[in-house]
Structure 1
Amino acid sequence: MKRIIPFAGAALAVVLLLQSCSSSTKLTNSWAAQESGTNHNTPKIKKVMVLAMFNNASNMSLRTNMEKELVRDLKAYRVDAVGALQTYGPKAFDGLTENQALAKLRESGSDAVLTVRLLDKNKEKQYVPGRYAPYPYGFWGYYSYYSPMMYQPGYYANSVQYSFESNLYGLNDSQLIYSAQSSALDPSSPQGLADDYARMIVKDLHRKGAIGR
Structure 2
Amino acid sequence: MSFPRHAVALFASLLLLCVGACASVSVKDAWSDPAFASVRYRKILVLGISANDTNRRVFEDSFARALQTAGVQAVPAYTLIPEGGQVPGARITEAVQQSGADAVMVTRLQRVEQKTEVTPGMAMPPAYGVGFYRFYGGAWASTPPTVSQYDVLTLESTLWDAAQQKAAWSAVSEAVDPQQVSKLTDELAKALIEKLKADGKI
Alignment TM-score, normalising by the size of structure 2? 0.69
| Percent identity of paired positions between Structure 1 and Structure 2 | 22
RMSD of the alignment, in Å?
A: 3.0
Cα distance between partner residues in 2 of 1:100 and 1:61 = 20
What letter matches 1:85 in structure 2? Y
Q: Unaligned stretches of 5+ in structure 2?
A: 1-20, 123-133
Structure 1 residue 51 and structure 2 residue 42: aligned? no
Structure 1 residue 117 and structure 2 residue 108: aligned? yes
Q: Unaligned stretches of 5+ in structure 1?
A: 1-19, 133-142
Cα distance between partner residues in 1 of 2:155 and 2:113 = 12
Pair 1:116–1:172, CA change in 2 (3 A)? same
Give the drift of 1:188.
3.1
Matched ranges for 1:65-80 at <5 A:
65-80=58-73
Pair 1:148–1:65, CA change in 2 (3 A)? farther
Cα distance between partner residues in 1 of 2:142 and 2:80 = 52
Cα distance between partner residues in 2 of 1:153 and 1:192 = 34
Contact 2:81 2:95 in 1 (8 A): no
Cα distance between partner residues in 2 of 1:190 and 1:204 = 21
Give the drift of 1:203.
1.1
Give the drift of 1:92.
7.5
Alignment TM-score, normalising by the size of structure 1? 0.66
Pair 1:28–1:153, CA change in 2 (3 A)? same
Deviations 1:150-195 (A, max 9, x none): 9875323231111101111111111211101111122233322211
Report the count of equivalent residues: 169
